Structure 1
Amino acid sequence: MVFSFRLASFIVFTFTLVAIQSNSLAALQSDQLMTIGGEPVDKSELVYLLSKGQSDNPAQGGLSREEFEENLERFINYKLKVKEAEALNLDQTEEFISEFSTFQETLKAPFLIKNSLEEGELRKAYSRLQEVIRASHILFQFPPNASKEDSLIVLRMALKVRDEIASGGNINELAVEYSDDPSAKMNKGDLGYFTSLQMVPPFEDAVYNMQPGEISSPVLTSFGYHIIQLMDRRPNPGQVKVSHLLVRIDPDNPNGEDIAKRKVADVYQEIQKESTFWDEIVKNYSEDLATNQKGGALPWFSVGSMIPEFEMTAFSLTEEGEISPPVKTQYGYHILRLEGKRPLESFDNMEKSLRSKILRASRSSLIESQVMAIQKSRYNFQENDGNVMSLETALKAKTVATYADAMEEAGLTTNELFAIGESRFTGSDFLAFVSQKERIPGVDQNNFDTWYTAFVATSLNKAEDQDLLRNNKEYQMTLNEYRDGILLFSLMNQEVWQKGIMDSLGQRAYYQKNLQDYQWNDRVEAFLIKVLDISQANTAKNFVSGKELNPDLSSAFKNDIESANPLAFQTSYGLMEIKDHPILSQANLSEKYQEIEANGHLHLILLGEVIPAGPKDFSETRGLVIRDYQESLDQALIQRLRSKYSVVIDEEAKEETFIALNQ
């Protein structure tokens, strides 16, 4: 078992919540395992960290007694270093505060109410994408600056028309007569096929809860009241790619449609001939200037992306290369050719684009209002309606810059506006909030409702943050792990890593003190030729036979022999240790030239001077010295901290921790 703390500076954050063993953490949330420097350390912290390691390696099973003791010692060393970092005020530096604050904002996202609602909307949207819907509607808009009475009149009209449809009236004919949707004169209220995230949320929610033929009650959206009749729902066909040829209808010519109809019929007949090429026909006859020079090619599209007549024709084609009969749209007459089809993508592939669509204005506002409603209920939000109304009356005609004077004049600064649990929020708190924010993007900066709503939302969000810290054990543990990890990194960087790299005098002193660890074994200058192609062995033998070893010989062999037969030889030259070398350990060091068979290959060996065992020069082993010096600094730090801070372990709690980790 490897004990691993995931330091923030060492890893790529995934923020995937790691499962903790079900029988351990819940049972050990507040029991003290030890004290370090008089401060308690809960056994739940050790259980959490070790359980993460076990979750990463589920096949490893529980901890042995020996492993547990080793990990406990590492944990103590870890906590000692964190305590020392706190004593050095490393948790007060600007760098720490900035890094930890950024991390905390990112970490809390998966735990927030907003995240769960967004995830729910994502899953709902993808589930609905499995189907496409065809519906017709009649829109009843409100007059400008509508009063409540005006709204009731519109509602009564919507109900009257709904009753007429329910009694056998045709919604498409009635749409021409009643609908305030400008497109109804052309499409008679038929919206064609569409799918999730293509309509405003209330409209989408209504149609996805209807069955074909069903007529809705009035559905209120930002456009007005809708009466909807669901015509069809079917599996989503995915995406289609087509190319097209367009013959336009001249609106200024009384015979324009007849001319276009005859022309497209002639083109369609020409396409049927085997000798014709689609791209050439499109280039010569299509009046879509954006596509006629590229074979009429259009991008991939899904249901609800094109005008209904064009879209239905495109999705009706089944074989690549299939060509449709002419189809009329508002743009003229089209002939389509199918280029390809593909099914709906997986949730993982679509998640990013779905999230982007869900977080657009209308749906984002809907989620925010739902979040606020849940927060108000969960955190016992109580509003003083009278005081809020007085504040609104005093400020609604004022600019933000004059809020303070207006509130002071009206005596509203100490009035309680609302409470969240035991916390009270007054007019002064509202003023402080307004003064801290320069502006709220995308809204009238002098709108009282906007500022007050933002103040309430910010206060509720802070209450949720505090609730997470108090009551969500997993969030607490993860946040504390990364806080301590950042502190540990800072301390180690200051006391061990950078010191080990920069302290050249300390490196030299450590090298001299531990010279026995930096020794060469007996070495020999050698040139080795491994023969891979035995048919070329004599070439190599003839080259080295009778020659004295020197660097030029190695270079000459590479240039003259090995370069001509790159797959026939492997060579190495230099000063090499003899003891553990697979070839030199078998050589007779008194013979300058010899041949050795080993591991299925012939090796030609040319030997030079033998150098007896002795110390390595500092420059030859500086990297290893720095590593060992850093390790010695780390051990010295641990010993110093164990002397500085008392460690008192509760043996009973320790045993309970061991048992919990092995359940």
Structure 2
Amino acid sequence: MTNRTISAYLITFLLTFGSTASGMTFFQASDQSDPLLTLGGKSIDKDELIYLLSKGNNSEPGTPGMSREEYEENLDLFINYKLKVREAEAQGLDQSEEFLREFESFRENLKAPFLIRNSLEEGELRKAYARMQEIVRASHILLQFPANASTEDSLIVLRMALKIEDEIKNGGNINELAVKYSDDPSVQANQGDLGYFTALQMIQPFEDAAFSLQPGEVSDPVLTDFGYHIINVKDRQPNPGQVRVSHILVRIDENAPNGEDLAKRKVADIYTEIQKESTVWEDIVKNYSEDPSSSQKGGILPWFSVGSMIPEFEMAAFSLTEIGEVSPPIQTRYGYHILRLEDKKPVDSFESMEESIRSRILRDSRSTMIQSQVMAIQKSRYNFDENEENVAKLKSELSATSKNDFAQVMNEKDLARDQLFSLQGKSYVAQDLADFMNVQEIPLATKEGIFDAWYEKFAASVLNEAEEADLEANNKDYRMLLKEYRDGILLFSLMNEQVWQKGLMDSVAQKAYFQENIQKYQWKERVDAYIVKVLDMSQVDAARKLLQETTLSDDLISTFEKSYESSNSLAYQTEAGNLEYAEHPVLSKADINSTYQEIEANGHLHLVILGEKTSAGPKKFEETRGLVIRDYQEYLDKSLVESLRKKYPIKINPKAKEETFVALNQ
């Protein structure tokens, strides 16, 4: 069952389930910390009732608050709900393996929105989506580091990048300089021009720099995993969204001496043919396009946005403005294309793109950045104090070991008790790190050695535990939500076992309940009837011919329905059966002793044929089994509540009760 299901069930339960019962006593409050009530000696705070009822209250501002009568009813339902949770705990359902597994799963989902990481991720999501409203065109020069670069090598590359930056700012052409200096493998094809792009299409440091520049501005050297970049923004425009085009491709035969001329002549002839009014685009595509993946589908390509296609193709596609507009031939590295615009749409809403943006952010360097920020905030908040001297020593002594040998080497060098850090006054030592590594199955390593990776992972784990403990102890909203779901699982388990499944599966008990309450399952006077509601008055005479001067029978019904279903299925609506007539909207107006009659009801003419009458009397169990099961389950629920009210004495604090009522009406 999903989180949403239990939450919805719990609110529904509070509003609809439970039985009003007596057996409650009252005690006087001694101070404000007294509970709202106790059930069998277990205290329940007023905040829990306020939270649940406020969560279910969707009234508009300015509307009247909860009445006394509504409050008393909801308090009574709340008590019934808490009694069932109390009983589930008494039965040990909160210690079952199934409960613990399910609750832990819910806890993982529930805590996510409250964690520091979530707010940082949300900020990155919003920033990325805001950037997606624009497209940027930029050129760049990339200067890569040599293999196994030293610090001096890095400084040499940086000085070169600064020199090129000055040259551009003094009037140099970045595209010409890119051909001369850039280590980007595509530079010979694009002269450093990257075309248009938007958020999440470049690595983060490059994107950050590009979106901080205005057209004509040149960046300082930007460090990425590829090296240093000099970026020159050429243009910024509103994002045109997405486009869908179909195309015709004519490839260039590079093995033919005049391959390009032949392709150019062929695409020109195709373009001329397309201009004729009699031409069918799909036929031209099928006959002439050399793109095997799209030629049999009218040349249709998937939707794409800026930065998804090669620049020449993309610019031609986005330059088309009218649906059905065809571009002149354009050349790309694949050959010559003719494009037709099929559709356009703006940038999707944030809500529809949120999960896609999140997935992309968590796959790039932003994820590492977010994790670093999370740890920095956690360290500050929870008084993380690293023993830098010991950490440096442990790194030096243990980095060369493997995960399997880590504990042994640590003990041989007598390092187990060396402190790594303290957190909220608690000290963590090397042995704690070794224990942590021992229960982890995923191997980790870094260029520097094993210690760095495992120490970082261990510190992050300890900090996360501290944040979660702080969340549960000090965040009231989270604590209430967690309790709601915990109690919801217990409530569902108890009700499923003692009410729902028992009421559904125990056929012997169902029949016994049916016999004991037979007076609830009685037919009123009935009559066999066939009612034809005329929807098309032009067809009324045809119906009359078939129904007048006849006797009600299965053959009559079958003949009539076959006659109109095949010729005019919307002319009539019919109802047939042994029907209670006293309160029926049509039969209540009928003469029960007349075989055929026509009755006006609810603005429609009804043709009615009546047969045998049936006296009032008890229903058969099979005729009302669904209703019996529902009633029996309600009986089981009521009986359960009554037994629990006897088992767990209820004491209500009048002062806290009144304070709760006031709080709910503020």
TM-score grouping bracket, smaller chain normalisation: 0.7 to 0.9
Residue of structure 2 equivalent to 1:543 = 550
Written as runs of structure 1 = structure 2, the 5 A alignment for 1:451-466 is: 451-466=454-469
In the TM superposition, residue 6 of structure 1 has moved relative to its aligned partner by 7.4
Contact 1:243 1:297 in 2 (8 A): yes
Q: Separation in 2 of the partners of 1:530 and 1:193? A: 67
Counterpart amino acid of 2:549?
A: N
Q: 620, 627, 632: which one pairs with 2:630?
A: 627
Q: Separation in 2 of the partners of 1:629 and 1:162? A: 83
In structure 1, the residue corresponding to 2:441 is in which secondary structure?
coil
Q: Separation in 1 of the partners of 2:459 and 2:612? A: 85
Counterpart amino acid of 1:231?
A: K
In the TM superposition, residue 200 of structure 1 has moved relative to its aligned partner by 0.5
Q: 655, 661, 664: which one pairs with 1:661?
A: 664
Q: 1:339 to 1:406 in 2, by over 3 A?
A: same
Q: Separation in 2 of the partners of 1:296 and 1:585? A: 65
Counterpart amino acid of 1:464?
A: E
Aligned length in residues = 632
Q: 592, 605, 623: which one pairs with 2:610?
A: 605
Provide the TM-score with structure 1 as the length reference. Answer: 0.85
In structure 2, the residue corresponding to 1:55 is in which secondary structure?
coil
- The worse-fitting range, judged by mean Cα deviation, of 399-408 and 580-589 is 580-589
Written as runs of structure 1 = structure 2, the 5 A alignment for 1:107-118 is: 107-118=110-121
- The worse-fitting range, judged by mean Cα deviation, of 531-540 and 423-432 is 531-540
In structure 2, the residue corresponding to 1:192 is in which secondary structure?
strand
- The worse-fitting range, judged by mean Cα deviation, of 403-412 and 280-289 is 280-289
Residue of structure 1 equivalent to 2:553 = 554
Q: 441, 464, 467: which one pairs with 1:438?
A: 441
Q: 1:162 to 1:588 in 2, by over 3 A?
A: closer
In the TM superposition, residue 177 of structure 1 has moved relative to its aligned partner by 1.9
Q: Separation in 2 of the partners of 1:458 and 1:291? A: 50
Contact 1:114 1:371 in 2 (8 A): yes
Written as runs of structure 1 = structure 2, the 5 A alignment for 1:395-544 is: 395-440=398-443, 447-521=450-524, 523-524=525-526, 526-528=528-530, 532=534, 535=541, 536-537=543-544, 540-544=547-551
Residue of structure 1 equivalent to 2:40 = 37
Counterpart amino acid of 2:610?
A: I
Q: 1:502 to 1:173 in 2, by over 3 A?
A: closer
In the TM superposition, residue 149 of structure 1 has moved relative to its aligned partner by 1.8
Provide the TM-score with structure 2 as the length reference. Answer: 0.84
In structure 1, the residue corresponding to 2:385 is in which secondary structure?
strand
Q: Separation in 1 of the partners of 2:105 and 2:530? A: 57
In the TM superposition, residue 360 of structure 1 has moved relative to its aligned partner by 1.3
Q: Separation in 2 of the partners of 1:277 and 1:538? A: 54
In structure 2, the residue corresponding to 1:543 is in which secondary structure?
coil
Counterpart amino acid of 1:556?
A: D
In the TM superposition, residue 366 of structure 1 has moved relative to its aligned partner by 2.5
In the TM superposition, residue 509 of structure 1 has moved relative to its aligned partner by 4.5
Counterpart amino acid of 1:217?
A: D
Residue of structure 2 equivalent to 1:8 = 6
In the TM superposition, residue 577 of structure 1 has moved relative to its aligned partner by 4.5
Alignment pair present for 1:84 and 2:90:
no
Residue of structure 1 equivalent to 2:138 = 135
Written as runs of structure 1 = structure 2, the 5 A alignment for 1:563-578 is: 563-564=562-563, 570=574, 572-574=576-578, 576-577=579-580
Alignment pair present for 1:98 and 2:97:
no
In the TM superposition, residue 246 of structure 1 has moved relative to its aligned partner by 4.8
In the TM superposition, residue 377 of structure 1 has moved relative to its aligned partner by 2.2
In structure 2, the residue corresponding to 1:398 is in which secondary structure?
coil
Counterpart amino acid of 2:612?
A: L
Alignment pair present for 1:241 and 2:244:
yes
Q: Separation in 1 of the partners of 2:5 and 2:292? A: 58
Q: 1:11 to 1:58 in 2, by over 3 A?
A: farther
In structure 2, the residue corresponding to 1:180 is in which secondary structure?
coil
Residue of structure 2 equivalent to 1:18 = none
In the TM superposition, residue 199 of structure 1 has moved relative to its aligned partner by 0.7
Q: Deviations over 1:407-458 (max 9, x none)?
A: 1112222222122223332222212221212115898998332222221222
Residue of structure 2 equivalent to 1:146 = 149
In the TM superposition, residue 75 of structure 1 has moved relative to its aligned partner by 0.8
Contact 2:242 2:344 in 1 (8 A): yes
Residue of structure 2 equivalent to 1:650 = 653
Q: Separation in 1 of the partners of 2:262 and 2:516? A: 101
In the TM superposition, residue 601 of structure 1 has moved relative to its aligned partner by 4.2
Contact 2:143 2:183 in 1 (8 A): yes
In the TM superposition, residue 241 of structure 1 has moved relative to its aligned partner by 3.4
Contact 1:242 1:298 in 2 (8 A): yes
In the TM superposition, residue 341 of structure 1 has moved relative to its aligned partner by 3.3
Counterpart amino acid of 1:194?
A: F
Q: Which is bigger in relative contact order (C-alpha 8 A, separation at least 6)?
A: 2
Residue of structure 1 equivalent to 2:15 = none
Q: 1:6 to 1:290 in 2, by over 3 A?
A: closer
In the TM superposition, residue 208 of structure 1 has moved relative to its aligned partner by 0.5
Q: 1:81 to 1:269 in 2, by over 3 A?
A: closer
In the TM superposition, residue 33 of structure 1 has moved relative to its aligned partner by 1.7
Q: Deviations over 1:522-550 (max 9, x none)?
A: x3554455574764547534223xxxxxx
Contact 2:589 2:599 in 1 (8 A): no
Q: Separation in 1 of the partners of 2:333 and 2:586? A: 85
In the TM superposition, residue 254 of structure 1 has moved relative to its aligned partner by 7.0
In structure 1, the residue corresponding to 2:404 is in which secondary structure?
helix
In structure 2, the residue corresponding to 1:463 is in which secondary structure?
helix
In the TM superposition, residue 233 of structure 1 has moved relative to its aligned partner by 0.8
Q: Separation in 2 of the partners of 1:192 and 1:597? A: 76
Alignment pair present for 1:126 and 2:125:
no
Residue of structure 2 equivalent to 1:365 = 368
Q: Separation in 1 of the partners of 2:64 and 2:230? A: 61
In the TM superposition, residue 586 of structure 1 has moved relative to its aligned partner by 6.5
Q: 1:92 to 1:531 in 2, by over 3 A?
A: closer
Contact 1:249 1:260 in 2 (8 A): yes
Counterpart amino acid of 2:170?
A: S
Q: 1:569 to 1:421 in 2, by over 3 A?
A: closer
Q: Separation in 2 of the partners of 1:513 and 1:461? A: 59
Contact 1:7 1:489 in 2 (8 A): no
Counterpart amino acid of 1:8?
A: I
Q: Separation in 1 of the partners of 2:585 and 2:289? A: 77
Indicate the percent of aligned positions where both proteins have the same amino acid: 59
Alignment pair present for 1:223 and 2:206:
no
